Structure 1
Amino acid sequence: MDVRVGEDGRARCAWIGDGGHPAAEEYRRYHDEEWGRPLHGDRPLFEKMSLEGFQAGLSWITILRKRPRFREVFAGFDPAAVARFDEADVERLMADAGIIRNRAKILATISNARLVLDMAPGELDALLWSFAPDPRPRPRTLGDVPATTPESDALSRALRSRGFRFVGSTTMYALMQSSGMVDDHVEGCWRAA
């Protein structure tokens, strides 16, 4: 089954789990309020790109649960603030059990912030959205949702050519989904209406 009816009577994409699962409420909120809704702005998109990079190899619920702490220790993902982080900040972050303590991902986030600062205001937003695909038929099943697309491949290449890290095609497709560049709510989901 690709949709699941919640206690409120709404059908949702089945990936959110069922009401008995401890992650279900967090996933439901994320599904209903964020996933697939168009997001713009350099700072919010830098945050999404960073969190998607931290998620690589982990479950998204891990990131959702740690997101408040990530926002706190990464200065609200303000690229100008993160770009100023130094080795002392890296060590501070590596010691913080409230986030994903992966040195390569922390360093990539700082490096990526510096690259965002080298761009004109609004350029990151424009660059990311320039790869948004044309609308396509809504997925009928979760099996119809791809892990990568030609557009996510191209976005990954474009970002890598500028020096961005942790921006592989799968990660970029997840970014496209979470920021509304694509809408992968399956048929029957109330958000697909």
Structure 2
Amino acid sequence: MTLEKFDAIYARAAERKGGDEQLESLLSTPLTRSELLSIADDRWLSAFSQKVFQCGISWSVVRNKWPNFEEVFFGFKIEPLLMLSDEHWEQKATDQRIIRHLTKVMSIPANARMIHQASLEYGSFSTMIADWPEGKITDLWLYLKKHGSRLGGNTGAYALRQMGVDTFILSSDVEAYLRNCDVFEGGKTSKRALTAINAAFTTWQQQSGRSLTHISQIIAFSCGDNRL
């Protein structure tokens, strides 16, 4: 495998999007460490829960109903949610104000416990996220998959990106590019594949000095059907 230089990827993306200035305007910038530290634990639980419910459902439908979710689930405050019994959760899953899906609803207390445990260990969930070792973002994905509920695949990564964490996303365009370049083969969520993918992004980061977020977006813009 010969990894394509990031300058070549950038040039192709810029050509497809109408120039450097237009491409740069499309990129989203991750939050700083201090900005991440200011995020309350309930906002992480809300973000994880929203992404869980968006799996297999129109994202816009879930977003439009999300104020109702915030109301039904106490603003996703961790402590009150941890006090609910299984019977309470089953009742909440039948509330007509939300999308009624018991299995997805039950991911909320599971992820609340994950966040609570991390808060006990690190002081806050945001501290764990903000201080996660640089260059090991896929290990954070695996942490969410192992300790959380329904946060495997792209779900956890999309939630992290939504919250401003610097992470790449294995979208269909990015995945297709990486496969075409023989960065990995087989399942994209295997430890071997994630290690190879992480190494490729680390190389591009060293070449460009850019965030993982920017690199991921630029790769997506450099291929697929998303021309100007």
- What TM-score, normalized by structure 1, do the two folds share? 0.60
2:46 alignment partner AA? E
Query: Where does 1:96-135 land on structure 2 (aligned, <5 Å)?
Result: 96-118=95-117, 119-120=119-120, 122-131=123-132
**Segments of 4+ moved more than 4 angstroms:** 35-39, 131-134, 183-187
Q: Is 1:160 the equivalent of 2:159?
A: no
Q: Indicate the RMSD between aligned Cα atoms, in angstroms.
A: 3.2
How far apart, in 1, do the equivalents of 2:53 and 2:104 lie? 6
How far apart, in 2, do the equivalents of 1:43 and 1:122 lie? 14
Determine what percentage of the aligned residue pairs are the same residue.
22
Question: Unpaired runs of 5+ in structure 1?
Answer: 4-11, 14-30, 135-149, 188-193
Contact 1:52 1:171 in 2 (8 A): yes
Match of 1:64 in 2: 63
Cα 1:66/1:114, change in 2 over 3 Å: same
Match of 1:78 in 2: 77
* SS of aligned partner of 2:148: coil
* SS of aligned partner of 1:64: helix
How far apart, in 1, do the equivalents of 2:133 and 2:68 lie? 30
Q: Deviations over 1:7-35 (max 9, x none)?
A: xxxxx85xxxxxxxxxxxxxxxxx9xxx9
- What TM-score, normalized by structure 2, do the two folds share? 0.52
Match of 2:192 in 1: none
Cα 1:75/1:103, change in 2 over 3 Å: same
Shift of residue 80, structure 1, vs aligned partner: 0.7
157, 162, 165: which one aligns with 1:181: 165
Shift of residue 92, structure 1, vs aligned partner: 2.1
* SS of aligned partner of 2:90: helix
Match of 2:184 in 1: none
Shift of residue 117, structure 1, vs aligned partner: 2.4
Alignment coverage as a number of residue pairs: 144
Shift of residue 36, structure 1, vs aligned partner: 5.7
Shift of residue 115, structure 1, vs aligned partner: 2.9
How far apart, in 1, do the equivalents of 2:114 and 2:161 lie? 23
Shift of residue 170, structure 1, vs aligned partner: 0.6
Match of 2:91 in 1: 92
Cα 1:44/1:2, change in 2 over 3 Å: farther
1:44 alignment partner AA? R
1:128 alignment partner AA? I
Going by fraction, where is helix more abundant, 1 or 2?
A: 2
2:165 alignment partner AA? M
Shift of residue 41, structure 1, vs aligned partner: 2.3
Contact 2:144 2:152 in 1 (8 A): no
Question: Unpaired runs of 5+ in structure 2?
Answer: 1-15, 19-24, 167-212, 219-228
How far apart, in 2, do the equivalents of 1:172 and 1:124 lie? 14
Greater C-alpha radius of gyration: 2
* SS of aligned partner of 1:65: helix
Contact 2:46 2:76 in 1 (8 A): yes
